[in-house]
Structure 1
């Protein structure tokens, strides 16, 4: 038998999940600035007043969305280069990844609330890539931090190109090329 407080806690978790899912989808489709609490409430089926109760404000909701998407990422250090690149192709094709491309334009503006979240996201992603790259015996003059930044930049750039012109970018071939380059640098 479930207690009243147990049902309430489950309802709260479910409402929070629905709000994060709705916000992530809307932020990816419309951008952060163009999405309202009303839009999120309508899509989620959760009352508009629940948003500030759960997240404080729109920026708090954005933080929860970014944390949720980052938590879903598999750390690249867990598999071989081939497995990691395969996972990367799948992530690039996922609906969640569209969020990153949509929000980057707003994030580059210094006064944007997205600026801080993107800086934190990039730091977290570079950390994941660094953990994976650190396993390699890198050539002289190639450091873990530098290579991690380059790899993340390539991934982000390929992702953006593919989102804008999917018929012009072959993800499998492009990531296979990245894999060949990384293997030549000693990353396996």
Structure 2
């Protein structure tokens, strides 16, 4: 009975997340009320509050769900015992770009993040949470790059902090641009070439070296 109750609670949580994803995508984050999500999910507002304190926490859960399938690759690129951290990072970045086009759920959440997430007063600390999320990403990328430097896969003089910032902006920009103009080209088909161009920059650009 307890197991069934836990399963039902998890099913309800997933229903709420799926509904929030659809409504955020249709209306934007700031114009979506928890009542809208409750109606779309077929649950009460009390059920939402059982799982999430507020709309910001619900939004964070959508981001976490988006990141989870790639977490093993991210951790591998950061691991000191990984013999090929740059290869794992390359695989991770390629999959990030491919999923935006090939995975409908990933595409919806990416569109919300890039184009339908407004930092209005009623969302409280959403902007701060997103800043923390981006800084964490930069730090994890920097760790992966330092790992690749230590393994001799990138130049010893690479400024890893600057390179991480550049890498994050490059991937983020590719996603934002494609989501606005998906008819221009296939991001999934060009993912490998686009990531390899980025890695070439890390290996060769004098502007990314320590003085």
TM-score for both structures, normalised by structure 1? 0.79
Q: Is the contact between residue 22 and residue 40 of structure 1 (CA under 8 Å) also seen in structure 2?
A: yes
Output the aligned Cα RMSD: 2.8
Q: Does 1:119 align with 2:131?
A: yes
Q: Does 1:173 align with 2:190?
A: yes
Q: Which residue of 1 aligns with 2:209?
A: none
Q: Does 1:47 align with 2:44?
A: yes
Q: Does 1:186 align with 2:203?
A: yes
Choose the corresponding residue for 1:100, options 113, 125, 129: 113
Alignment map for 1:40-79 (pairs within 5 Å): 40-74=37-71, 75-76=73-74, 77=77, 79=87
Report the 3-state secondary structure (helix = DSSP H, G, I; strand = E; otherwise coil) of the residue aligned with 1:69: helix
TM-score for both structures, normalised by structure 2? 0.71
Q: Does 1:90 align with 2:98?
A: yes
Q: Does 1:155 align with 2:152?
A: no
CA pair 129-91 structure 1, distance change in 2 beyond 3 A:
farther
For structure 2, the residue ranges without an aligned partner over 5 or more in a row are: 78-84, 205-211
Alignment map for 1:10-49 (pairs within 5 Å): 10-49=7-46
**Paired residues, what number?**
181
- Provide the C-alpha distance between the structure 2 equivalents of 1:169 and 1:138, rounded to a whole number of angstroms: 33
- Provide the C-alpha distance between the structure 1 equivalents of 2:48 and 2:199, rounded to a whole number of angstroms: 44
Worse overlay, 165-174 or 147-156: 165-174
For structure 1, the residue ranges without an aligned partner over 5 or more in a row are: none
Q: CA deviation at 1:176?
A: 1.4
Q: CA deviation at 1:46?
A: 2.2
